[in-house]
Every structure is written in C-alpha cells, then in structure tokens.
Chain A
Amino acid sequence: MAPLPPSADFWLRVALFGGAALVVGVPVGLMLWFRSPLHLGIGQVVEQPIEFDHRHHTRDDGIDCLYCHHDARRSPRAGVPSTELCMGCHAQVWNEGRETRPLRASWAADRPIRWRRVHDAPDFVFFDHRAHFEGGVGCESCHGRVDRMAHVYQTEASTMGGCLECHRDPVPHLRPEDALTRMGLSPSRARGERVADRLGGVSPPTHCTGCHR
C-alpha cells in the first residue's frame, strides 16, 4: 500500500487553524471597526460652503454660543443662524473679502446657505437641546472644545452607548446655568452634585422613548 503524502495533515492543520482564526477574527474585527473613530467620524472635518471659524468667533470675538444658536434654549433644535443674523454683524465688519462672499451672496439673492451636518444623529433619534440645557448639560459635553476648532468636527462617539454612558450617570457633566456655554470645564462630580440639588435632581431617561419615538 502506497505511503500517504506526508504533507497531508500539515495542510489539514493549516486549514483547521485558519478556519478557526477566521471564525473568531471576523466578528472581532467588525466590533473593533464599529468602535473606531474612523467609522464614528470622530475628528473628521466636513467641507463647508463658508470657511466659518468657530475658534475665531468664540475666542477672539467672545461671542456666546447662544448668540447664534439661540433656539437651544427653547427648542429641541439648536438651530443654525439665519443669514440675517450673520449679516447683523457682517454688514459692518468683514463686509467684504473672500471668506464672507457666500454670505453676502445668500443675503443678496435671498438664497439660503446650505451647511453640511457634522453632528448627524440617525433620523430615529430625537435629541432635544432644550432638555439638555434645562438638565444642566452644557454644549461642551457633546460638542467638545468648539472654541478650539477652526473647522467643527465630532469629538464624542455618537453611538447609543455613548449617550447611555452619560444618561446613566449624568452628574459629573452637570454645570451651573451660567457655565452651560463655557468651554474647558472638566467634569466634576462635586459641582454636578450641587447643580443636581439646585435642579431638584436630574434623572435623564434611559428607556427607549426617551430618544426613540
């Protein structure tokens, strides 16, 4: 009887271990990918129709977030300022030059500026800015140090897990009302406790209809 090819079980083992590696590796790889900044879009800059520089407006000019995004106080949406609002200043300052040309064009042609979303929650998520404001959560907690961003980008993971982290233990992220729009305020449990007491307790929803309707 002829001897069997010696390579046989070598290749078989390769196949076996390779298969096992695949079975384990693919799911693990996917899980990692779905958590990677690349997939979550963290730090990715989106091209905007206007070279708008938040860093300049908030730091150099000291404009409060709410001056432009004033709906955040009274509406689920923070809102993007109307051309009119921009022109309020830019009729006087920077009323010429390349950067503000699209703005003036919009004003003249009565055609809205088409910005592009940076923080894009899925359509089945109902995020309420007012709710967070009234709950003592500031802009920074979700939007990061916008005052340091030339171009706005995401700093937090916009996953359900990311939201739940905070909804389960909001206290460290709470701020007094006057500090809601302040930047560079690191989370502090002690401060959070005080705010929570003043607000008579803060209990963000962790059930489905808190965000999904």
Chain B
Amino acid sequence: MSHDDPSWVPAASLGRRSFLGASAGTLGALAAGCDLHRPEELVPYVRRPPEVVPGVSDWYATAALRGGYAIGLLAESREGRPLKIEGHPEHPMSRGGTGPREQASVLTLYDRDRLEAPREDGTARSWAAFARSFGPRSVRPFVGRRGEGLALWLPPSSSAVLARRLAALRERYPRATIVFDPTSAPTPRWEGTRRAFGRPLDVQIDLARADRAVFLDADALVEGPAALALARDWAHRRTPGEGMLRTYAFEGAVTSTGVSADHRLPTPPGAIGRLALALLAALRDGVSPPEGVPHAEAVRAVARDLDAHRGRSAVVAGERQPAAVHALAALLNATLGNVGRTVRYRESALLEAASGAFDPSRLFDALDADAIDTLVIADANPVYAAPPSFRFAERAARATRTVACAAFANETAASADWALPSLHPLERWGLHHAHDGTPTARQPLIEPLVDGTTPEGLIARLLGEDPSPREAVAAAVAERADASLDEVLSRGFFAAADETVTPRPRFDELPSLAEEIAAEARADDALALDLRPDARVGEGEDAENAWLQELPEASTQLVWDNAALLAPAEMARLGLRDGDVVALALAGGDASVRLPVLGVTGQAEGTVVAWLGFGRRRGGRVARRVGVDVTPLRTVTGVPRVHLEATGERRDLARTQHHHRLEHDEPIYRRADLEAWRANPRLAPAGHETPPPSLHEAPDDGEPSDAARWAMAIDLSRCTGCKACVIACQAENDVPAVGKTQVALGREMHWLRIDRYLTEGDEVGFQPMLCQHCEHAPCEYVCPTNATVHSPDGLNVMAYNRCVGTRFCQNNCPYHVRRFNWFDYQRGRPAREQLVHNPDVSVRGRGVMEKCTFCVQRIRRAERYGEPGGLRTACQQACPSEAIAFGDRSDPSEPVSRWQRQPRAYSVLGELGTRPRVQYLARVDHPNPGLRERDGER
C-alpha cells in the first residue's frame, strides 16, 4: 500500500497553493519557534501582453478531435496557461458538452514524460539535423524522383491544412504511398453505405426529430464524433410526458447507451446482423427472415413500433459491426422513410474517405518488396495498436528509415529510427471539420512546451516548405470562409454549406447481404469477442493520462486495468470468479492473451468483452504496465471468435464499487415506467412520501433570507453515466489520482462519483453522488475544530486549513462523499506538472478531509467578476445531456427550482432529516407496452 508503488501516479503536484508548507511550517514553529513563511518571489512580466490580466481568466475557442472529426471547445487560460477545457456552446457537435477524454486532455499537456526534442536512435538531435537527413534535397535521392520509396502512415483526419500539405506532397512525389489508419476509421460504415446506396457516406442521426430509435450494438450516446450532440438531443426527449423518445438497444456489452435505453436486449454482437435482417423482413415484403434470430418476439414488437413511426424513427449500427449490418441499417432507414428526415447522409468530412488511402495493402506489398526507403508514421501508434494480421512492426522494420511523430516514446517511436515530438492539441493550429462538416478552427493556448511538430508540419519539412502553421491555417480559412482569420478564431468555427445527400437505396443488394449474414451465424462453441476501444484511454492514445486511468469504467467500476467481461451465468457455468485469469485464444488462430475475468450483469451470454488500449509496453510512466494488451486478438473487420480457458491464476482488480444491489430495500435509486409515473407522479414508495425539504420550515438552518440558496438537481432520466462530470470535477478542483493500490484500499479521491445500481429486473441505473450539501449536515456537528460548517448561502463548506483529520465527518456522512488525504498525494511533482492546478483552489496536503464544494471558487468569482455563460458547476457545464441543474433555489424561476418542484424530485436518504440541497429526479422510462421483455410493475 506504499504510495511509491509504480502504478501510483498522482495527477498533479504540490502547487503554489499548497498549504502543506504552512502546516509543516507550523510544525517547525512549534519545534523551533521560527518564522513560518520562507520569503516567496514575485516575478512580474518584462513586457506584459495587453490581453492578460493576472488572476483573471481568458477563454479561447479551439477544438478537439474524435477519430479525426472536430469538436468545438472553449479553453480557459490564466496568465497564458491552459487550465480547463469546456465544450463550445455554439458548436453543433459539442453544444457545450464534453466527454471525459476532452476534459482530461489538459493533464497530458503538462506530462513530464512527453518527448522533448527530436531523437535519432534515442539520442537527442536538432531539427536542423533532421532537415539534413530528411529535407527535400537529402530525401529525394533515397525516395526516388517520383517518391516511390516514400510512405506516410497517418490517422484519419479532416484537417484542411493536411489536405493542402498532402496535395503539395503528391505534386512533388506523385508515387508516394499515403495511408490513413483504417482500423480507427469508420470503414465498415462507408462500405455498408456504399453497398446500400452506391457511395460511401457518413450518417447523421437526429434524435430531436425521431420518436423511435434502435441501436444495433451502437454506444451512440457516448462513442464517436457525434455523440455529444446526440446525447443532448436524446436528453431533451427524456422529459416524462408526451413526445418522449423511445429507444431500443440490442448489444452484447453493457454500454451507457444500452443502460439509458427504454429497452435493452442483450444480443451477441455476431447475432446483430440476423436481427437487423429480421427487422427488415418484418417491415418489407419479399424479404425472408433468417434463421436463429434472438429475441424474435421482441423484434416483431420493435418492428411494429417502427412501422407505426415511419419517417420519425432511426436505426443506428455500431462502429464495430461489419459492413453488412451498416448496409442493413441503411436499408432499414430507407424502408422506414427516415432518410433525409431523422437520418441524413453526407460525404464524409474525413480526407480521402473510403478511398484507396484507407487500404494499407499497397504499402504492405511495397514494404514486403523492400521498396520503401522512408516510412513516416505521424500521430499513430500502429506498432502497438494495429491488428496482428498487419504484421506492422515486422514490415516497418523493412523500410530503410522510419520516422515516427509521437507525443510519448511509445512502441512505434521506440522502434523508429527517428522519434519526433508531437505537439499537444492545445499547442496546435488547425482547421478541421466536425462530423456534420462544420469547419472548426483550432488555435494554440500556449507556446509549445516541447520542441515538436504535427503531421502537417512534418510534411512541410519533408518538402522544405515553411512549416509555420498560422499562415497555413489562414490560407485554408481564406479558401473556405469570407471571414477573416481573427473572426474565425474568435468564434471557433463557421457554418458550412449543407452537404447532405439523399441517396437511392439499392435493395437488390439484399440477397448477397442475407448470404453474408447467414455466413456470420456459425454454430461453434466459441465465444464472440467484442473488442472495444476503451472509453477512457481509447486505443492507448490516452493511456498516459492518470485521470482517465483512474476513471471507473461504466459497466464494472474498474480502474487502472482491463479485463475480460462475461455474463455471470456464463462465469458460473465455467466455474470462474471475478479476478480469475483466463487465456483467450483466437478460434482458428494461434494468438492468445491471458487476462482476468469480471462478471457483468446484463451482458449477453456467448460474448466476451475486452477493452483495447491497455498493456502498453512503451510510453510514459503512467501508461506502462497497466492492464493487458489484447490487440493480438484484433481482427481488421468482423467479430472475432475466441476460446476461453481458466489458468488457475488470479489477479487483483481495483474497483471503486463492490455492491451493486440495494441489499436493504431502501429506495435510493428510483425509476418507473411512464404509465406508473402518470398514475403516481410522486413515485415515492410506501413509507417514503416525505416531500422534498422546504426552505421555510427550516428557520434553524441559520441562513439569512437575502442570501442565495445554492442547490442542485440531477435528472436520473438524463444521466448516461458517461462520467464526463467526474473528470471535469477532477480538473476543476485539483483532485489527485492516487493509483491502483490506493483505490483498491477504497481511497479514491473523486469528489463526484457515479454510483451504479442494479434495480428490479437487473436493470442498471447510474446515480451521480456528490456532497449533498445537507441543510442539517451530519458531518458538521461532529467536527471538533469547526473545519466544516455552513455558509450563509447554504453551502456545506470545508476549510482544509482548519482540518486536523479526525475523519469523524466522513464516518458520519451517510453518503460517504468525503475524501481524505491519507498520504501527501500531491508531493514531488515537477514544476511543469504543477501548472495544471487551478489557481483558485487550495491544493490539499496530507491529513485533511476534502469534498465537493459546489465549485465554491466559481460561485465567489461569479459574485464579483461574473462567469462567461453564467454560473455553472464544473460537472454541470461538462454534462453532454444536461442532466444537472444548479443555481439559487430562492429564485423560483431558476431551472434548479423548477426541477426540484417536480413531483418526481426526491432526496436520497431524505428520511434521515439531512435536508439535502441536492435532489434527484426519478428516472422515467418509456417502454413499449407491447414488449414484455420487462414487467411494468416497478
């Protein structure tokens, strides 16, 4: 349990705002009676930038990328240092929301293990040296006049600047091979739409207009470049009453989207195709249903429901489903007349989408023929992440010279001859396109902390062109917009012309699709393997981020690890317990990995779920030795089948929650069906009809009437459990990550956690749990030093510097939301990593209690300086589905007041008389009465 365990990596370090100095000083003073304060330095600017006001934040529009598509962001900058990422409220693909990975990106910026300068075989070199061996003059003789020997491996990109650079490159080297990583691109969707419509297209779902939606193994509310917008629309259609959306999810794994759906039907990923075909058969004459369709009864009911909502429904196929399923989904939408209404198709915003550039075979042939002299890999880590069938490392070795551009010394960079530092998104210029085509500008928030470059810059260097990015962006903007660069940068994006198309469906493809589907249905004893990029660390790109590593995974609450997830029934059958290590062997292959198993209630039987992105061999100190690398089991397309056998070994897994059932039947998590809600809007079970605490019958909570009464309401109907709020809170409040061993000891520090409960029928419910700011707080009266008390505006405040750490408040908190600094988690971080600290928050030292403050620093700042976009807590601001309302409850017009007045509002453990200021709106689902998969009597 020592805190120098390798996996123990604090998110951030002892900042200027640490009061440990003071406490240690006091120790000294007691011992020696010496002076407390070592004189600090005050270092003013020499020349002060006009826009900077020390101590006051500026906000800049920039962008993050998901699979190459842009998402508009606002980044907070204090004295020229990026502090916090927020969603861009006006950007169509963010609408103010963010995901955990966007929120956490700021931590990676300051990471101590970033590549600092170009390296050749591990020794630091200058860019001049790089130019000497790779500048245009020196490269040409090696790669040939027309570039036969030059190859580039790039991630999928929508960068306008990259487009220009590539054009220039092709002009100079027409025969150069350029490959976009196909495994991280929506190639199955493109192939599917090509077969259904004759052309590869991107799909845009509009849940604002749809009344019924079917998710075929698609985690659409959380995953992908359009998820934030989708979640927002979905949430707005979850308000109980008329016009409620109804969603069906057929999936193997237990995803946020499935949990949030009105109907979730566990279905092995290999059976989704048959299911889709059955749906189509039920909706369209002349289509014969396939054999062995799971949930046949349900499928008919769903089909009837869809039939009744033609033109107002949507069918969504999952990223990892084969092309055939995407084709069927497209044809289903066409059959239902959704195309152009709730489902819109457009040319992909990604460069050279679905072109040969996404087919690596040409490159591989060339490599096998030793025809490649210079192989450039930028912002990708194929040596680690590529499917074994690519034999990438081995092939890359055949190139005479390999150049890797990477943020960390990852597997690819380590094996390359040259490793070039890749700039962090917040250090970059760019003009990218969102999933809906919106051109989105990206501007750097800080001078690069490392001597690095970008794919665009790298190509420029190869061509000997001026790599300066600003001009390139200016030129790209000039081509597209009639606005000046500054205007574009200040808004962050500009409207694109509507490029949606209405393609003609090709139902004549159906027979061949049906054949493929039938072929999919194999009746062997192997399990279907659902390999998914991890929601936290992706395919390993974010493995260096301690905040994300310590983010509890949605379906298991597992941290700092990955595992093989199985249905509990399946585990019982195989005689496995959580933590038993099993060997997963690819059916008909020799690849095999050993990893621990975890049971997940609700997962489809016959399915193994495992997350990519773990078991990194090279990279920063956080990324290495976390979890198990499952890429050996990765296939290019289709659903891999695996055999599983126990090894007898065990592995400790750190989870933040061990009990998921409400073993004492307390209605802590409340949910009901729409009918039940109509019958009894209060939804309070017998014995719990306590009304939410009122302000007026509490004269004794000692608050002057004129003060604000800060309060929060959380709508459980809207929470998808994506955990963006958790990271947002962590970033805003300097919450440290404490590492696997500490979490295993129950010492995670998250101020805001997402509790996961199994309610009746083993349905999962997510419940954000944070300090409830009780009006009668049990923590307050037991604190011997007055360190936690009530503020006039009704906050339960925590004065860290008065806390002596008796932990009585934590014992006495019925919600156990208080967190204790068991060690000095913040000590000894290098200066650069300290820059991530929020200067408006005290960094907590060893031995003090801490907890959610309702972002009091934001409240106090808003009171005097005002907040851009109004006062919001970090969690509320990040939430893509607007599930959190926060504000002054004494103003009846505030959303929080309106929410708390709703009959379905309730206080968790309200019967204890704690009068929480946080209230929850019971979850109300909109199930299909004709579908008896679940019984309505809840």
A contacts B: CB pair < 8 Å:
yes
A residues adjacent to B (C-beta < 8 A): 30, 33-34, 39, 41, 46, 71, 74-77, 79-85, 106-107, 110-117, 120, 122-124, 126, 128, 130-131, 134, 207-210, 212-213
B17 part of interface (Cβ distance < 8 Å) = yes
A115 B19 Cβ-Cβ under 8 A: no
Interface pairs (22), CB distance under 8 Å: A33-B33, A41-B35, A79-B54, A80-B44, A82-B45, A83-B44, A83-B45, A83-B47, A107-B46, A113-B44, A114-B42, A120-B39, A122-B801, A123-B843, A126-B840, A126-B860, A134-B864, A208-B797, A208-B799, A209-B856, A212-B801, A213-B842
* Cα A17 to Cα B94 with chains together (Å): 76
> A209 contacts B54, CB within 8 Å?
no
Evaluate contact between B860 and A209: CB separation under 8 angstroms. Answer: yes
Instruction: Give bound CA distance, A107 to B35, whole Å.
Output: 34
* Interface membership of B391, Cβ < 8 A: no
Contacting pair A116 B37 (CB below 8 A): no
Q: B864, A130: Cβ atoms under 8 Å? A: yes
Contact B44 A208 (CB under 8 A): no
**Is B43 in contact with chain A by the CB < 8 A criterion?**
yes
Task: Across the interface, name the chain A residue whose C-beta is closest to B841.
Answer: A213
B18 at the interface (CB under 8 A from A): yes
Indicate whether B173 reaches chain A with its CB closer than 8 angstroms. no
Tell me if B16 is interfacial: C-beta within 8 Å of chain A. yes
- Residue B868, interface by CB 8 Å: no
The listed residue with most A CB atoms (<10 A of its CB), out of B36, B795, B798, is B36
Judging by beta carbons under 8 Å apart, are A123 and B17 in contact? Answer: yes
Lowest 6 CB-CB distances: which A-B pairs, in order? A124-B19, A80-B44, A77-B55, A82-B45, A115-B42, A75-B55
Q: Please, which residue of chain A has its CB at the minimum distance from the CB of B26?
A: A34
Alpha-carbon distance between A28 and B527 when the two chains are bound, in angstroms: 76
Q: Which of chain A's residues have a CB closer than 8 A to the CB of B665?
A: none
* Apart from A33-B33, A213-B853, A213-B857, 16 more pairs, CB < 8 Å: A41-B37, A75-B53, A75-B55, A77-B54, A79-B44, A84-B48, A107-B46, A110-B47, A112-B43, A122-B19, A122-B801, A123-B21, A124-B842, A126-B840, A207-B789, A209-B859
Given that A71-B54, A84-B46, A212-B799 are known contacts, is A117 also in contact with B40, CB under 8 Å in the complex? yes
Contacts of B29 in A (CB 8 A): 34, 39
B residues 29-76 touching A (CB-CB < 8 Å): 29-30, 33, 35-37, 39-48, 53-56
B801 A124 Cβ-Cβ under 8 A:
yes
Nearest to A117 among chain B residues (CB) is B40
Residues of B within 8 A of A79 (CB): 44, 54-55
Given A84-B48, A213-B841, A120 and B40 touching (CB < 8 A)?
yes
> Does B792 make an interface contact (CB < 8 A)?
yes
Check: B766 CB closer than 8 A to any chain A CB: no
Contacts of A74 in B (CB 8 A): 53, 56
Tell me the minimal C-beta distance from A111 to chain B in angstroms: 7
Residues of B within 8 A of A128 (CB): 864
Q: Are A112 and B54 in contact (CB under 8 A)?
A: no
- Residue in A closest to B856 when the chains form the complex, CB atoms: A209
Residues of A within 8 A of B859 (CB): 209
Interface size class of B (residues with CB under 8 A): 35 or more
Question: Would A114 and B801 count as touching, CB distance under 8 A?
Answer: no
Select which of B37, B46, B791, B800 is within 8 A of A124 by beta carbon: B800
Of B15, B16, B33, B800, chain A has the most CB atoms within 10 Å of the CB of B33
- Output the least CB separation between B831 and chain A (Å): 15
Known interface pairs A79-B54, A124-B17, A209-B791; A110-B35 also in contact (CB < 8 Å) = no
Over the window 834-867 of chain B, the binary record of Cβ atoms lying under 8 Å from chain A Cβ atoms (1 yes, 0 no) is: 0000001111000000000100110110001100
Whether A213 pairs with B54 at a CB distance below 8 angstroms is: no
**Contact assessment for B16 and A123 in the assembled complex, using a CB-CB cutoff below 8 Å:** yes
Residues of chain A with a CB closer than 8 A to B54's CB:
71, 75, 77, 79
| Assembly CA distance A80 to B43 (angstroms) | 8
Chain B nearest CB, measured from A82 CB (Å): 4
Residues of B within 8 A of A113 (CB): 43-44
* Inter-chain contact B800/A212, CB cutoff 8 Å: yes
A41 to B40, CA, bound (A): 14
CA of A71 to CA of B53, assembled, Å: 7
Residues of B close to A80: CB separation below 8 A: 42, 44
Complex: A20 Cα to B517 Cα, angstroms: 93
| B residues in contact with A114, CB < 8 Å | 41-43
Q: Report whether A123 and B19 are in contact in the complex, using a CB–CB cutoff of 8 Å.
A: yes
Cβ contacts under 8 Å, A76 to chain B: 55-56
Per the bound structure, the CA–CA distance linking A106 and B48 in Å amounts to 13
Cα-based distance from A29 to B254 in the complex (angstroms): 65
Q: Are A106 and B46 in contact, CB atoms less than 8 angstroms apart?
A: yes
Q: Which residues of B contact A81 (CB under 8 A)?
A: 44
**How many angstroms between the C-alpha atoms of A44 and B53 in the bound complex?**
30
Q: How far is the CA of A80 from the CA of B864 in the complex (A)?
A: 22
- Asked if B853 and A115 make an inter-chain contact with CB atoms under 8 angstroms apart, the answer reads no
B684 CB-CB contact with A under 8 Å: no
Contact, CB under 8 Å: A110 / B53: no
- Which B residues lie within 8 Å of A212 (CB)? 799-801, 842
Q: Assuming A71-B54, A74-B53, is B856 touching A112 (CB within 8 A)?
A: no
Decide: B853 and A116 in contact? CB cutoff 8 A.
Answer: no
Kindly report which residue of chain A lies nearest to residue B788, judged by CB atoms.
A208
> Chain B residues with Cβ under 8 A from A213's Cβ?
840-842, 853, 856-857, 860
Interface core residue of B45, B792, B864 (most chain A CB under 10 Å): B45
Q: Is the CB of B53 within 8 A of A120?
A: no
- Which A residues are CB-close (under 8 A) to B798? 208
Task: Say whether A112 contacts B19, CB under 8 Å.
Answer: no
Indicate if the CB atoms of B55 and A82 lie closer than 8 Å: no
B856 CB contacts on chain A under 8 angstroms: 209, 213
CB distance from B841 to the nearest CB of A (A): 6
Is B22 engaged at the interface, CB distance under 8 Å to the other chain?
yes
**C-alpha gap A123/B856 in the complex (Å):** 17
Contacts of A83 in B (CB 8 A): 44-47
Check A207 against B16 for contact (C-beta < 8 Å).
no
Q: Inside 8 A of B33's CB, which chain A residues have their CB?
A: 30, 33, 39
- The docked-state distance in angstroms from the alpha carbon of A115 to that of B17 is 19
Q: In the assembled complex, which residues on chain A have CB atoms less than 8 Å from the CB atom of B48? A: 82, 84-85
